[in-house]
Amino acid sequence: MIGEFLRSLECGGSIPFERFMEAALYHPDFGYYTKRVRGIGRAGDFSTWPELHSSLARAIAAWLRASPSRHVIEAGAGTGELAAGVLKHLGFFQRLRTTLHIVEISPVLRAAQEKLLKGKRVRWHRDMNAALAAADGCANIYSNELPDAFPCRVFVRADGQWKELGLKIDGNSAREVLCDCELPDSSSLQGDPPDGSRVEVHESYRRWLGSWAGSWKRGRMLTIDYGSVMPGLYHRRPAGTLRAYAHHQRLIGADVYASFGHRDITADVNFTDLENWGNGLGWKKINRSSLTGFIRSQCPRAALDSQIAEAGEAFQVLDMGSGCSGAL
């Protein structure tokens, strides 16, 4: 059944990897996030920062207090642990004045969020335009490990040119093929790397930003994810950053394509692209730092052991603004 579905996605004899990843993660019947995600944390396939340490929730709450808003949007809230922590650390009076909107497309994760946040001043929405409409376009927005969950395009350098990675379905296995393509606007594709080099571009995330940018009148947006800026993102990683996770095991190469719908597929985020794309939408960069630097700037007394602090250096935090600054 799955093999037949995948073959139905073929165009010109192969499936662009982006379409394969989208179906593997979000197909309504057998996508990982829509049907099969087993949870986040020790009992799930992977862990995120909120399950490991309370410092991120404290830091986001401090960031929100510095630019007060009656409406706050979390895009992609996982199990709801981060949202619960942010509300806890906002403080009593600001919590009373704040409505938290959660944008979540995973039925499994939304159910977990609703259970954890029952009785809190939280509203759920299917998409950003609906959340922004409820906030009259004025809101502070944050996300943790969101861009990496968007399907990415993969490009391979061959004969001095970039080719797009596609997959040819042979029975229950997938074989890589390279296809000619139009290149997206991405700093990952600049320069002249050696043949065989691979990069990923989260162009679907750019399209998502553009789909609701016109509804966001004013506020700040905090984007937190693992990744880096160019050209350092692919330093010593010529094979790219694409990988999958299952039962906390990291899978690379052909293993990424196996067990369709049963694995989280991801790639590091190019924060140079995120900043450039935001600028193109009329947003202004306020700050960018490592996650460790962000936590320490917002919560100077936060106790971070050496292992946590080192892990935080693999994450970037981008703070961008839309419209006028000040209270919303």
Q: Considering only CA atoms, which of 66, 98, 133, 61 is closest in space to residue 326? A: 66
In a domain, 180, yes or no: yes
Q: Which helix (H) or strand (E) element contains residue 298?
A: helix 291-298
> What SS3 string covers 128-160?
HHHHHHHCCCECEEEEECCHHHCCCEEEEEECC
Q: How buried is residue 205: exposed, middle or buried, by Cβ count under 10 Å (0-12/13-18/19+)?
A: buried
In a domain, 328, yes or no: no
Provide the β-strand partners of residue 321. 220, 284
Handedness of CA 49, 53, 59, 64 (dihedral sign): positive
Report how far residue 302's alpha carbon sits from residue 305's, in angstroms, rounded to the nearest whole number: 10
Report how far residue 149's alpha carbon sits from residue 26's, in angstroms, rounded to the nearest whole number: 10
Q: Hey, what are 36's tokens?
A: 């099969």
Q: In this predicted structure, what is the pLDDT of residue 50?
A: 66
User: Coil, strand, or helix at residue 190?
Assistant: coil
Please name the residue that has the structure tokens 């808003």. 69
Q: In this predicted structure, what is the pLDDT of residue 296?
A: 96
In a domain, 138, yes or no: yes
Q: Hey, what are 130's tokens?
A: 């609906």
Q: In this predicted structure, what is the pLDDT of residue 308?
A: 84
In a domain, 327, yes or no: no
Instruction: Determine the residue type at 313.
Output: E
Report how far residue 161's alpha carbon sits from residue 167's, in angstroms, rounded to the nearest whole number: 19
| Number of domains into which the chain is organized | 1
In a domain, 259, yes or no: yes
For residue 135, the domain's CATH number is 3.40.50.12710
φ, ψ at 87 (rounded to 5°): -60, -40
Residues 6 or more apart whose Cβ sits within 8 Å of residue 39: 79, 112
Give the range of the structural domain holding residue 123, as residue numbers without chain letter. Answer: 2-322
In a domain, 206, yes or no: yes
Give the single-character DSSP code of 37: -
In a domain, 215, yes or no: yes
Asked, as a colleague might, if the bond just before 231 is cis with ω within 30 of 0, I would say yes
Under-50 pLDDT residues of the chain: 41, 326-327
Q: In this predicted structure, what is the pLDDT of residue 305?
A: 82
Report how far residue 65's alpha carbon sits from residue 174's, in angstroms, rounded to the nearest whole number: 49
Q: In this predicted structure, what is the pLDDT of residue 327?
A: 47
In a domain, 202, yes or no: yes
